[in-house]
């Protein structure tokens, strides 16, 4: 077992770190306050190749491995989890989904724009009555020969207003239950496609989360992904990889908060000495460091499983479950290490604490990850 990263991996990590420091850090507090989408920053990330890292170079992708992707996710998330969720959805849900299951025409038309950052993607599965229970899809797409007619509402859609292309999951045949579900590429601006108001969120406030309403939207048949009835499997396979990205996001949020707490402990004095010299603080740092390293190993294991072509449903679920808990624990302790300063925006740790919570909710809650893990370990 080799725990060393390659030179290329180190370069990718450094590039993401530099970008986070130079391009994301300035304005991150303001964007969070104003709930402002990082438009310029995402455009630049696209130009630098961070929006389609793992996709096939034939369609403008970086052809990189999952390890490279999680390294970039960790570094970007240390500073700005709102920007990193846009990167995550675009890379592991939209680009990976299209690259793996789309046909050549779909990839040429859509993937090439998504990998370059010219267009942004969204993944639309959740509905008001279909969150954890994603099989309860109420959105319908009725077959009309050369096209489908799409009706229904999706909610909580990341990049809801910023995305140009939406991968929409809908029921095409209710009798067939989850085997009667399909995935479609839907373009922003198509007649009958409305974008609902922006959610006013606790964290990742720079990302735009919206409900989407489809009223008799005509979707050409060539925009269906895969064979008829493949949609549910498409969503589950795609989310399985997406979880590795969110686990890396959680890891980054934790590591970012830890780095700030470590530095602060070396400068802030109480009772005549730097607070790092109080064992209560030093032990907090020791716990944080250990938890982060354990989370990193789980994230890397899941990424390596995926890169090796091994099953990553279990390792991805464990990585997300654990890293998101670490993100909550570490960010809370980082606020504590900062004392009163931890409670105000300019010190960044309160934002990271708010951002951490979502990693236990989206792309499958922690309870759903435990269902995935327990079912796997309990099966014969």
Encode 254-267 in three state secondary structure.
HHHHHHHHHHHHHH
> What residues numbered 77-96 form the site for ligand FAD, per CB under 6 A?
89
CB 12 within 8 A of CB 66: no
Is residue 367 near ligand FAD by the rule CB under 6 A? yes
Shortest approach of ligand FAD to residue 254 CB, angstroms? 18
From the list 285-293, 309-317, 348-356, 357-365, the region that binds ligand FAD by CB under 6 A is: 357-365
Is 363 tagged catalytic? Answer: yes
CB 73 within 8 A of CB 85: no
Q: Which is nearer to ligand FAD, 288 or 356 (CB)?
A: 356
CB 311 within 8 A of CB 305: yes
Is residue 125 near ligand FAD by the rule CB under 6 A? yes
8-state DSSP, 321: H
Strands 140-143 and 121-124 come out as: unpaired
Residue choice 238, 362, 369, 372 for contact with ligand FAD (CB under 6 A): 362
Is residue 201 near ligand FAD by the rule CB under 6 A? yes
Closest C-alpha to 249, from 44, 7, 6, 83: 83
Is residue 358 near ligand FAD by the rule CB under 6 A? yes
Structure tokens, 78 = 């240390």
Report the distance separating Cα 228 and Cα 179, nearest Å. Answer: 9
Single out the catalytic residue among 75, 127, 333, 363: 363
Residue in this structure with the two tokens 């309870």, named with its chain if needed: 367
Q: Which is nearer to ligand FAD, 149 or 361 (CB)?
A: 361
From the list 65-73, 76-84, 268-276, 365-373, the region that binds ligand FAD by CB under 6 A is: 365-373
From the list 30-38, 106-114, 156-164, 174-182, the region that binds ligand FAD by CB under 6 A is: 156-164
Q: Which is nearer to ligand FAD, 71 or 169 (CB)?
A: 169
Q: Which is nearer to ligand FAD, 88 or 291 (CB)?
A: 88
DSSP letter string, 211-253: EEEEEEEEEEGGGB-SSTT-HHHHHHHHHHHHHHHHHHHHHHH
Report the distance separating Cα 93 and Cα 91, nearest Å. Answer: 6
Structure tokens, 358 = 């979502």
Residues that bind ligand FAD in the complex, under the rule CB under 6 A: 89, 123-126, 131-132, 156-158, 201, 204, 209, 358, 361-363, 365, 367-368
């Amino acid at each position: 077992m080799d725990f060393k990263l390659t030179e290329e991996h180190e370069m990718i990590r450094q590039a993401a770190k530099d970008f986070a420091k130079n391009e994301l850090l300035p304005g991150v507090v303001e964007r969070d306050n104003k709930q402002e989408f990082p438009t310029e920053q995402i455009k630049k990330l696209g130009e630098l190749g961070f929006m389609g890292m793992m996709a096939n170079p034939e369609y403008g992708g970086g052809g990189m491995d999952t390890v490279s992707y999680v390294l970039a996710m960790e570094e970007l998330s240390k500073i700005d989890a709102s920007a990193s969720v846009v990167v995550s959805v675009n890379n592991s849900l939209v680009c990976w989904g299209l690259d793996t299951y789309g046909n050549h025409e779909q990839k040429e038309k859509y993937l090439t724009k998504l990998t370059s950052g010219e267009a942004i993607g969204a993944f639309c599965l959740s509905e008001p009555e279909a969150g954890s229970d994603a099989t309860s899809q109420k959105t319908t797409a009725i077959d009309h020969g050369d096209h489908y007619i799409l009706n229904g509402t999706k909610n909580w859609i990341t990049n809801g207003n910023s995305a140009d292309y939406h991968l929409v999951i809908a029921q095409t045949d209710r009798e067939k239950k989850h085997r009667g579900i399909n995935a479609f590429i839907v373009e922003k601006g198509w007649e009958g496609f409305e974008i609902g108001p922006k959610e006013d969120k606790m964290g990742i406030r720079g990302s735009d989360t919206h409900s989407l309403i489809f009223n008799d939207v005509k979707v050409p048949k060539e925009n269906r992904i895969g064979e008829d009835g493949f949609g549910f499997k498409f969503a589950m396979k795609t989310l399985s990889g997406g979880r590795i990205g969110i686990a890396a996001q959680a890891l980054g949020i934790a590591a970012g908060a830890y780095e700030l707490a470590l530095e602060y402990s070396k400068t802030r004095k109480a009772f005549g000495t730097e607070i790092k010299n109080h064992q209560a603080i030093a032990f907090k740092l020791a716990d944080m460091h250990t938890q982060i390293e354990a989370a990193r190993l789980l994230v890397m294991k899941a990424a390596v499983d995926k890169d090796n072509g091994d099953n990553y449903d279990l390792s991805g679920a464990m990585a997300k479950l654990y890293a998101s808990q670490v993100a909550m624990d570490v960010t809370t302790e980082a606020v504590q290490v900062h004392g009163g300063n931890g409670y105000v925006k300019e010190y960044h740790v309160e934002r990271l604490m708010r951002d951490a919570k979502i990693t236990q909710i989206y792309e499958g809650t922690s309870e759903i990850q435990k269902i995935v893990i327990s079912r796997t370990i309990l099966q014969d």
